[in-house]
Amino acid sequence: MTKLVAEGVVSRIGDRQILTDVSLYAGAGELVALTGPSGSGKTTMINLAGGLLPPDEGMATLDGEPTWLGTGDPRPDVALILQSYGLVSILTAAENVSIALRARGVRPREADAAAAAALDRVGITDLGERLVQELSGGQAQRVACARALVVDCTLLLADEPTSELDEYNRDRVIGELRHEAERGAAVMIATHDVEVAAQCDREYRLDDGALVPSLVR
């Protein structure tokens, strides 16, 4: 069974400790919330779990293998929804989603069909041909969600994936992340939104880089 495990993770920037001895896990089929005030270390933990950053101490593993590959690129079976989206602004919404599959060796025609279906899942069927730079913040955020949904990943890490969405679209996106968990992925969502955290199965709360044990559920 797929499992993300972080054990004793420490992250430093210069002299500052950003994460202190963080241990957590997310198993296949689970939707796990990572909450905490602004600056508490959620993005750092998501990036580290996704293999974008190496831990200074401890380890993050997926199915027993380190998520950090030494390059800053995530493993192909890991999908991330980044806080900054990380979309290519001069490509269309559909191209941004399709590219995630093409980069994994899927044939263009198949990738394009899957991209259209993923845009449909997040309610932006009609925006496929629009350049990302012409989209609203909430529309672009849903393109970033579609790009993560399309790859059938084993670990999906989402950093504030609904911060720009109205309630309807927020619940729709969380519903799609739930589908990914039901399909067998482990899903971790960093969020400020108590409504989003309430829809998750378990919650880890960070405060100033450390887990708050009484608020782990």
Residues across the chain = 217
Which is closer to ligand ATP, CB of 40 or CB of 92?
A: 40
Residue with tokens 């909450």: 35
Of 139, 158, 146, nearest in space to 114 by CA = 146
Q: Which helix (H) or strand (E) holds 58?
A: strand 57-62
Helix H segments across the chain? 42-49, 93-102, 108-121, 137-149, 167-183, 194-198
Residues 80-109 that bind ligand ATP (CB under 6 A): 83
41 makes contact with ligand ATP (CB under 6 A) = yes
Only one of the segments 36-44, 126-134, 141-149, 175-183 lies at the binding site for ligand ATP (rule: CB under 6 A); that segment is 36-44
Which is closer to ligand ATP, CB of 57 or CB of 63?
A: 57
124 makes contact with ligand ATP (CB under 6 A) = no
Which is closer to ligand ATP, CB of 134 or CB of 195?
A: 195
43 makes contact with ligand ATP (CB under 6 A) = yes
128 makes contact with ligand ATP (CB under 6 A) = no
Give the footprint of ligand ATP on this chain (CB under 6 A).
13, 18, 36, 38-44, 83
